[in-house]
Structure 1
């Protein structure tokens, strides 16, 4: 099966690309399998086997693995090859705390810089999450979820901080997926973003901070439904 026809083609253009199209396709395919747990922690990845699987060169695979390493999804060890990164509770807790500090700490800048199109952009990502949930596509939902939060924070105009947030986001999603029960409530996952959009639209910074902090803190345990209700 050629890499161009791999099943992730439908989401390839949704994931930011930093390499050639062929290596990006391998990167997205492997990212999907790691995030969903199809490639479990500490799985060994060899360039030769991946090149055979994706019908591409080892240099193409190497480029994809370097991108995964930058995201912290794999560990490239001298003389030991490449291993899928661990997915530990301790790391998840630390990343959630960092993410909450990043996303909630600069909302004054978000509201000051947010253009009229930001609410519409977030609603588009929310609708895309709903569609992915209805299709049962958890990976595509996670891609749009990450895009939602990245777009919201981008309004703070702190570009050097964005890579920190994006790493937190992908590892939060991976931990949540790998530690949730089967038949996860994907539609509820999408709807959890409604209070964020509404608080942003209203321009209420205290409510936005409270709703966003709750959203992040309950990424694994959803907690009470805040949709349509003011936050205490």
Structure 2
């Protein structure tokens, strides 16, 4: 958990961000116990903001707080990942449509810059950095549309999907493919083609459906033993 806390900012949200990223990149493994004392000592804070961070992570479905037993990182739920992807598709395809009507040259330049930074991170083998830049790309589209609530919904859903996304890198979901998909989204948004923007976003967000079963089979210790929900099984039918 390599993060420095900024003293001028609220501590608990910074702890949430640090712990969330550590869970997403499997630095803190599913099933692992989280110690209030250890984390408070590591960041040089009291236990109160650590407790607040645990509650937020619990609400995001990343940790489980068991009274008198402790706090544990939850195993990855295939069902929750699939449900989160379903919500992301509904919201982000609409965002892509709206962005195609509202985009300006500055917005295009920002999205292109983020894609270039993703490619640079991939070139360094910095997969954790790539996931951060991937999140920034999707949040930038929400900001172009000027819909804060949609951005928060996407951020919340990513807590589940990003765990699988990170495990899929660089093999099951090759980064060049993801970058190509990002470019296709921006190309459609830039030309004002709302239908193509939504389609490009849908293709991109469904990529995880190809990775999910394989990743679960490769890392059975990290996943809860659950079936995919009906809406996802239907998508995977030939």
Q: Same fold (TM over 0.5)?
A: yes
TM-score range, shorter chain: 0.7 to 0.9
Residue 119 of structure 1 corresponds to which residue in structure 2? 108
The alpha carbon displacement at 1:70 in A equals 4.6
Structure 2 residue 2 is the aligned partner of structure 1 residue 7: yes
Higher helix share: 2
Structure 2 residue 14 is the aligned partner of structure 1 residue 19: no
> Contact 1:8 / 1:28 at 8 angstroms: preserved in 2?
no
Deviations 1:115-155 (A, max 9, x none): 33211111111111112111211111111101111111233
The alpha carbon displacement at 1:183 in A equals 8.9
Distance in 2 (alpha carbons) for counterparts of 1:184 and 1:93:
16
Residue 185 of structure 2 corresponds to which residue in structure 1? 196
Structure 1 residue aligned with 2:153, among 156, 164, 182?
Answer: 164
The aligned length equals 210
CA distance 1:199–1:27, change in 2 (3 Å): same
TM-score relative to the length of structure 1: 0.76
**Which residues in structure 2 correspond to 1:9-158 (within 5 Å)?**
19-20=10-11, 23=12, 26-158=15-147
Structure 1 unaligned segments of length 5 or more: list them: 1-5, 223-232
Distance in 1 (alpha carbons) for counterparts of 2:65 and 2:9:
19
Structure 2 unaligned segments of length 5 or more: list them: 212-238
Deviations 1:163-205 (A, max 9, x none): 1111122321112223567697334433331111111111111
CA distance 1:40–1:93, change in 2 (3 Å): same
RMSD: 2.9
TM-score relative to the length of structure 2: 0.75
CA distance 1:162–1:77, change in 2 (3 Å): farther
Q: What is the SS of the residue equivalent to 1:82? A: strand
Deviations 1:43-101 (A, max 9, x none): 22120122233444323433433443354322334434322133111111111111111
